[in-house]
Amino acid sequence: MIRTLFAATLLATAAALPAQFSPQQVASLRDAALNDTYAFDITEGLTTEVGQRMAGTEAEARARAWSVAKLKAMGFANVRVDPFTMPVWVRGAESASILSPFPQKLAIAALGNSASTPPGGLEGELVGFDSLAALEAAPDSAVRGKIVFVSHAMPRTEDGSGYGIFGGPRRQGPGIASRKGAIAIIIRSIGTDYHRNPHTGVMNFPDGVKPIPAGALPLPDSEQVQRILKRATGPVRLRLQLESTKLTNQQSGNVIAEVPGRDPGLPPILVGGHLDSWDLGTGAIDDASGVAIAAAAAKRIMDAGRPLRTIRIVWFGAEEVGLFGGLDYRAKYGKQPHYALIESDFGADRIWKVDSRLGEARKAEAIAIQQALQPLGIVPGALDETEGSDIGPMVADGQPGVALKQDGTRYFDYHHTPDDTLDKIDPVQLRQNVAAWTAVLAILSGGIDPPAELNRRKKR
Ligand code: ZN
Ligand code: ZN
């Protein structure tokens, strides 16, 4: 009875951002989520019934239709697709062989936006560099008319920071090689596994730079090439076939669903991941698990009661090939304030740290989040930092956010390879993610206002 009266008082004074969930309720929602089945169900369904869903293709369109049906079936409101158009690169036949001095086949995959070789491929002399810096320092005469190979030393790290620093050969390498007159480039995959799986990924040629064929070798093949280059007494010749086609104005879109808040005038909380994947695997860790974690946590809050603030689920389209979905969302809604932006796009392994940037006025809320996550083994991180890929442009605009940092130790063993498949998802770690997200959403969606509000509740 007292509870009912209290709830009525809360509704009447919604503008004061009253607490919806007490710390005890947050804890019980969090702990119940350790038995979550929604996230695995979404991850399994999307990767099984759709599989790979390359941005802008009919496969991604099927993924959108699957997602709309799934989110409606889960009971979310305002389920819709925000469409946009984009250019699409489509992989064709690929192969690579050393012709001399030690003839042999290599495993290879083209990088997204690679130029196509002529049908059947091209041949050329291979010139190797141990790093992007070494390629940059080389005189054009050492590269002109040749096929460039670039290695690097990406380490395995928990926070995945190697990807930013050592991703240069993929992101900038093709442009630098082309500017120096190379006819093609192959790189050591931006990855950490010693399987013969190449890691694809996007790159772009700067304006005015002629696109050339660009591919990635698995780590074993990459080190084989280094040994061959070192041992050869004459030129090393390579045959390279990286065929592809480019289409303009293809359809993609963001899938959006909501848990409507009690006060629709308040800024929404955006939770999401990206729906598209690369074409080599089935996009389980990148990023079916991410969209699944976000939706599972929102579903658990919805089942617990109507939150004060709207939770908006966004399954972004076309992230992999250039953040098209994130930029489209920002163009349409980015001027509106959001209460927080949260994105999951780093696999499904456990969350180990929480960063946030909610602003000085909301420090108590940020501390409440840190405290609620500690029982899950999550360490408190920065209070002035947040990040994400699709939400990145809006984070840069200054919108507040929370970053739940996942363990990336094994992420780059599978990332953008044929090995990104459902069996790589550890259900126990996936559920820890859902528990952490549920706790964060419970705090943010109710607008907990400690300590005054909580003390008042205790007295009652
Ligand atoms: Zn991703
Ligand atoms: Zn990716």
Ligand nearest to the CA of 388: 1
pLDDT attached to residue 21: 79
CA of 274 to the centre of ligand 1 (A): 6
Domain boundary among 233, 258, 289: 233
Tell me if 426 is assigned to some domain.
Answer: yes
Calpha distance 68→80 (Å, rounded): 7
Please tell me the total count of domains within the chain: 2
Tell me if 460 is assigned to some domain.
Answer: no
- Give me the phi and psi of 180, to 5 degrees please: -85, 0
Calpha distance 251→328 (Å, rounded): 13
Tell me if 95 is assigned to some domain.
Answer: no
Phi/psi zone of residue 442: left (φ > 0), alpha (ψ -120 to 50 degrees), beta?
alpha
CA of 411 to the centre of ligand 1 (A): 11
Determine whether 423 is exposed, middle or buried from the number of CB atoms within 10 Å of its CB (0-12, 13-18, 19+). Answer: exposed
Does residue 14 surpass a pLDDT of 50? no
Does residue 170 surpass a pLDDT of 70? yes
Pairing label, strands 147-150, 104-106: unpaired
Question: Contact at 8 Å (CB) between 185 and 174?
Answer: yes
Does residue 13 surpass a pLDDT of 60? no
Ligand nearest to the CA of 201: 2
CA of 345 to the centre of ligand 1 (A): 5
Does residue 66 surpass a pLDDT of 80? yes
pLDDT attached to residue 457: 44
CA of 416 to the centre of ligand 1 (A): 9
Tell me the mean pLDDT in the region 152-178.
Answer: 94
Confidence of residue 446 (pLDDT cuts 50, 70, 90): confident
CA of 200 to the centre of ligand 2 (A): 9
Same domain, 190 and 325: no
Same domain, 109 and 213: yes
Kindly provide the b/e burial profile for residues 218-238, where b requires at least 16 CB atoms within 10 angstroms of the residue's own CB. bbebbebbeebbeeeeeebbb
Instruction: State CA 398 to chain mean position distance.
Output: 20
Please state, for a pLDDT cut of 70, what percent of the chain lies above it. 93
Report the run of H or E that residue 128 belongs to, with start and end: strand 122-129
Question: Contact at 8 Å (CB) between 181 and 256?
Answer: no
Same domain, 433 and 298: yes
pLDDT in tens, 87-109: 999 999 999 999 999 999 999 99
Determine whether 433 is exposed, middle or buried from the number of CB atoms within 10 Å of its CB (0-12, 13-18, 19+). Answer: buried
pLDDT attached to residue 454: 39
Calpha distance 4→228 (Å, rounded): 76
Domain boundary among 179, 204, 233: 233
Tell me if 157 is assigned to some domain.
Answer: yes
Confidence of residue 20 (pLDDT cuts 50, 70, 90): low
CA of 276 to the centre of ligand 2 (A): 9
Q: Provide the CATH number for the domain around residue 149.
A: 3.50.30.30
Calpha distance 128→225 (Å, rounded): 9
Ligand nearest to the CA of 280: 2
- What torsion do the CA atoms of 274, 277, 282, 285 make, to the nearest 10 degrees? -50
Confidence of residue 74 (pLDDT cuts 50, 70, 90): very high
CA of 202 to the centre of ligand 2 (A): 9
Tell me if 93 is assigned to some domain.
Answer: no
Higher-pLDDT residue of 164 and 338 is 338
Calpha distance 37→300 (Å, rounded): 11
- 36: domain range? 2-87+249-454
Within 10 Å of residue 417's Cβ, how many Cβ atoms? 25
Does residue 331 surpass a pLDDT of 70? yes
Closest-CA residue to 285 (of 392, 428, 423)? 423
Question: Contact at 8 Å (CB) between 109 and 200?
Answer: yes
Ligand nearest to the CA of 279: 2
Same domain, 396 and 288: yes
Ligand nearest to the CA of 392: 1
Ligand nearest to the CA of 390: 1
For the chain, what is the mean pLDDT? 93
pLDDT attached to residue 452: 37
Calpha distance 72→308 (Å, rounded): 21
Single-letter amino acid code for the residue at 329? Y
Same domain, 83 and 109: no
CA of 274 to the centre of ligand 2 (A): 9
Does residue 224 surpass a pLDDT of 50? yes
Q: Is 246 helix (H, G, I), strand (E, B) or coil?
A: strand
Question: Contact at 8 Å (CB) between 269 and 310?
Answer: yes
CA of 344 to the centre of ligand 1 (A): 8
CA of 12 to the centre of ligand 1 (A): 42
Domain boundary among 233, 268, 299: 233
What pTM value is reported for the model? 0.92
Same domain, 292 and 150: no
Calpha distance 453→73 (Å, rounded): 36
pLDDT attached to residue 165: 86
Tell me the mean pLDDT in the region 366-374.
Answer: 97
CA of 125 to the centre of ligand 2 (A): 32
CA of 261 to the centre of ligand 1 (A): 29
pLDDT in tens, 392-424: 999 999 999 999 999 999 999 999 999 999 999
CA of 17 to the centre of ligand 1 (A): 34
Please state, for a pLDDT cut of 90, what percent of the chain lies above it. 90
Q: Which residues pair with 65 in a beta bridge?
A: none
Within 10 Å of residue 167's Cβ, how many Cβ atoms? 17
CA of 240 to the centre of ligand 2 (A): 25
CA of 450 to the centre of ligand 1 (A): 35
Tell me the mean pLDDT in the region 125-141.
Answer: 98
CA of 288 to the centre of ligand 1 (A): 9
CA of 277 to the centre of ligand 1 (A): 7
Same domain, 200 and 293: no
Ligand nearest to the CA of 281: 2
Same domain, 123 and 178: yes
Tell me if 177 is assigned to some domain.
Answer: yes
Instruction: State CA 254 to chain mean position distance.
Output: 14
pLDDT in tens, 187-209: 999 999 999 999 999 999 999 99
CA of 431 to the centre of ligand 2 (A): 21
Residue appearing with tokens 């308040």: 266
Does residue 51 surpass a pLDDT of 80? yes
Determine whether 381 is exposed, middle or buried from the number of CB atoms within 10 Å of its CB (0-12, 13-18, 19+). Answer: middle
What is the maximum span of the chain, computed from C-alpha positions, in angstroms? 89
